[in-house]
Chains A and B, each alone.
Chain A
Amino acid sequence: MHPVLTLVAQRLALGILLLFAASALIFVGTQILPGDVAQSILGQSATPESLANLRKELGLNEPALSRYFSWLGNALQGDLGTALTNGRDIAESLGKRFANTMFLAGSAAIISVPLAIFLGLLAVRYKDRWPDKLISAVTLTSISIPEFLIGYVLMYFISVKLGWFSSVAMINDGMSFFEKLNAIALPVMVLVMVVLAHMMRMTRAAILNVMQSAYIETAELKGLSGFQVIAKHAFPNAISPIVNVVMLNLAYLVVGVVVVEVVFVYPGMGQYLVDHVSKRDVPVVQACGLIFAAVYIGLNMLADIISILANPRLRHPK
């Protein structure tokens, strides 16, 4: 078998193994929350009988291990159970929220990733001159300000003062694609500003590292222009670290944006998770945890595979 295929298969297997490990951790984590589910549902009005009834109804008397496997088995079949708080089907309500989250994260990624890499290349080209310094200063400033503050500032100037975009990023099925894009313009701007610096700095550092190599000197001696050298010779060899940082940031865009969701009233998954954690709605928390873990592991796996594929030594074995 081709060594690349072997490596990719290995990564995939590891990823799946990791996901199982994460599912076990999530399950254990929700089990050791103080007070069991029945207790937190019934609260102070709980009588011993009603507690016993509810525990039986929720299957809490089964041993933890068998509960874990029945939960996992159902989850693998796409059955995430029903929410304890409002009795709705989790897969259904979560599905909508997840799609919204992906839409916001995807839109932010489509702008921020190319922009970050381009700015990184530009910074290398004009290293230590004013464009480099300006790019670094602006992106580092934006990453240093808390995202809710950036959100409020953008809201005030762009939405309230200029009236360009909506300050309420509420999207729904009835909206056309462009209406949706218009609605999420502000949160996307905030997210782009938040993730830009990390990716830009990594691109810059990785390429500068490669720029020390002998083949870069050769390329320069061939008479290629500065930007051509960077784009054609340095960048492909710096892909691996850049991809890793890009994926980390994409994962952040999916799993870590609850503050932005609240500020812009965006019906995403972060808000949904936080709502239900505060209500000890364990099945929902488990489902969200599993999805977040899958996204995180999946993206990192993708980063690994892309780095493998980007490595010519692995692609063309002797």
Chain B
Amino acid sequence: MNKQIEYLKSRVGAGKLSRRDFIGKVGALGVAATAANVMLADAVKAAGPTKGGMLKLGVSGGESTNTLDPALVASEVPLNVLRHWGDTLVQVEADGSLTNRLAESVESTADAKTWRFGIRKGVEFHNGKTMTPDDVIKTIERHSNEDSKSGALGIVKGIESMRVDGDVVEITLETPNADLPYLMNDYHLVIQPNGGMDDPTAGIGTGAYTVEINEPGIRHGFKKFANDWDDSRGHAAETEILVINDATARTAALQSGQVQMINRVDPKVAKLLDRAPNLAIRNVSGRGHYVFIMRTETGEFVNNDLRMALKLAINRQEMVDKILRGYGGVGNDMPINAAYPLFDDTIPQREYDPEAAAEFYKKSGHDGSPIILRTADGAFPGAVDAAALFQQSAQAAGIPLEIKREPNDGYWSEVWNKQPFCASYWGGRPVQDQMYSTAYLSTADWNDTEFKRPDFDALLLAAKAELDLVKRKDLYSKMGNMLRDEGGLICPMFNDFVDAVATNVEGYEEDPNGELMNSFAGIRCWTT
């Protein structure tokens, strides 16, 4: 019997036998369907990816105002688009390790101040030009420009000088940073010809796919780039991203076969959806978290007692149970959880405590007028319900919250990072340093809680240069505590990334760095 199964496996691996026939035939040999599916997956994996075909993704998080400029990418659809056409120097993998992409080697001096990136040779841009170390330098320059609007500005601002040395780009930092390679993984830092100085929105890069259709807010279409330098990816001949912001429409599109993968499955329906025969829910716990953001320099939130009152007035476990339906874990008012290296698990978990909250509220001297909390369906899945739960638990502590529901479209440009108190989410970063540098450093563009504390910045800088891991962990612990007790972040939960993938898609692997395989699903999966 084993021989027969092996034979069938080889047939299906070679594409001579359909999935259904395979399961039917091994079923006839007395193998249960689930076991047959596992065998099939092995067989297909052993045979390697199927090249060609069309892969379609239904992705939430796109707006009609999106552009192809990597500097301005801030939501899920443009990020998926970016992954299709561009590459960064290095890349964080699912297991947290760093692989070289457009850089062939990464070395640093002992003080972590000067870094040398050996640039890969013979890599071709979509416009036929060969990538040079010069393009790399120009790219970083464009993002670090004084008037740059780049989301990576906070990351590259600390660069003192750059120079080309043969095939090597040498970067000297103002202050040492042991995590620099992780920072160069930032998705904004896609290498463009001449750094994108000529036309940042051209969509020309070194990625596996060329941009064929670009209709922001509607769809994006790609074709396989024939001269791609990396043949371990880019299996489908064509891929398409449909912007489907409505959760029900997205689910239906997957169920009816319009798309083969979707992101952000509503946890409410995830378990039901998983029962459908032609698709599977793929969830992975990561570093992403759902948050309520208080701007600490705006209006009533200047008062830390009020902030503390609100932090104590939220019921975290209830949120995990009711909003995430168990697809996640409780937060502790800092953006870091156990998924990060050097996490200090001795920091006490903050619990829901209406009495203490009421005390802090009284101490804050707030005038008792309703505190306006802005939310939208698109802030995170279940954000409107979460706001309602928050309102109720705060009510029990005598703190009046008024929920203001905002339209989804424009939420990220008009409400988030602008309004004093709103619901939001963070995708998480590979290392603590990057998370803090992106959103909690005084000068960071995305410092959405307006957390501007010189002492915190100093700790962050010290941790950057600290090569002793024990000391570094201690510094991160101090920073976490500081944010937890004095920051503007209310972090009730860390969410799992919940995607749904059709069974005829192979190559999907969970990646804690982000949804849809850290947005690489389009270029790493294939259809059978």
Contacts and interface: CB of A to CB of B under 8 A. Distances in A.
Are A and B physically bound partners?
A: yes
Given A44-B418, A86-B64, A86-B65, A168 B249 contact: yes
A178 to B, nearest CB: 17
Contacts of B413: 85, 279
Given A167-B249, A278-B410, A160 B242 contact: no
Contacts, number: 83
A248 interface: no
Contact of B218 (A166, A170, A278): A170
Given A168-B253, A170-B219, A275 B246 contact: no
A265 B242 contact: yes
A278 B409 contact: yes
A274 interface: yes
A265 B255 CA distance: 15
Nearest to A272: B64
B488 interface: no
Contact of A166 (B245, B258, B407): B258
A267 B244 CA distance: 11
B353 interface: no
Interface residues of B, number: 32
Given A265-B242, A265-B243, A279-B414, A274 B248 contact: no
Given A43-B414, A265-B242, A85 B65 contact: yes
A160 B253 CA distance: 8
B97 interface: no
A168 to B, nearest CB: 5
B2 interface: no
B207 interface: no
B216 A86 contact: yes
A159 interface: yes
Contacts of B243: 265
B215 A275 contact: no
Interface string B242-263: 1111101100110111110000
B154 to A, nearest CB: 15
B409 A264 contact: no
Interface in B212-256: 213, 215-219, 242-246, 248-249, 252-253, 255-256
Nearest to A152: B248
A166 B215 CA distance: 20
Interface string A273-301: 01100111000000000000000000000
A275 B414 CA distance: 12
A275 B409 contact: yes
B257 A262 contact: no
Interface string A236-266: 0000000000000000000000000011110
A168 B242 contact: yes
B63 interface: yes
A168 B219 CA distance: 12
Nearest to A183: B258
A275 B64 contact: yes
Interface string A118-134: 00000000000000000
Contact of B256 (A85, A167, A263): A167
Given A44-B418, A163-B256, A168-B258, A275 B63 contact: yes
A43 B252 CA distance: 37
B410 A160 contact: no
Given A170-B242, A278-B410, A279-B413, A163 B257 contact: yes
Nearest to B376: A278
A263 B246 CA distance: 7
Interface in A69-96: 85-86
A227 interface: no
A43 B418 contact: yes
A168 B413 CA distance: 27
A155 B248 CA distance: 9
Contacts of A156: 252
Given A265-B243, A267-B218, A279 B256 contact: no
Nearest to B407: A278
A172 interface: yes
A278 B64 contact: no
A127 B63 CA distance: 51
A263 B245 CA distance: 9
B150 interface: no
Most buried by A among B67, B215, B249, B257: B249
Most chain A CB inside 10 Å of its own CB: which residue of B67, B218, B248, B255: B218
Contacts of A152: 248, 252
B58 interface: yes
Contacts of B242: 168, 170, 265
Nearest to B417: A44
B65 A155 contact: no
B502 to A, nearest CB: 13
Interface string A140-184: 000000000000100110011001001110101000000000000
A162 to B, nearest CB: 9
A167 B242 CA distance: 12
27 contacts: A43-B414, A43-B418, A44-B418, A86-B64, A155-B248, A155-B249, A155-B252, A160-B252, A160-B255, A167-B253, A167-B256, A168-B58, A168-B242, A168-B244, A168-B259, A172-B213, A172-B219, A262-B245, A262-B246, A263-B248, A263-B249, A265-B253, A267-B218, A275-B409, A278-B409, A279-B65, A279-B410
Given A159-B256, A168-B259, 9 more contacts: A40-B414, A86-B64, A152-B252, A160-B255, A167-B258, A170-B219, A262-B245, A265-B243, A279-B414
Interface of B: 58, 63-65, 67, 213, 215-219, 242-246, 248-249, 252-253, 255-259, 406-407, 409-410, 413-414, 418
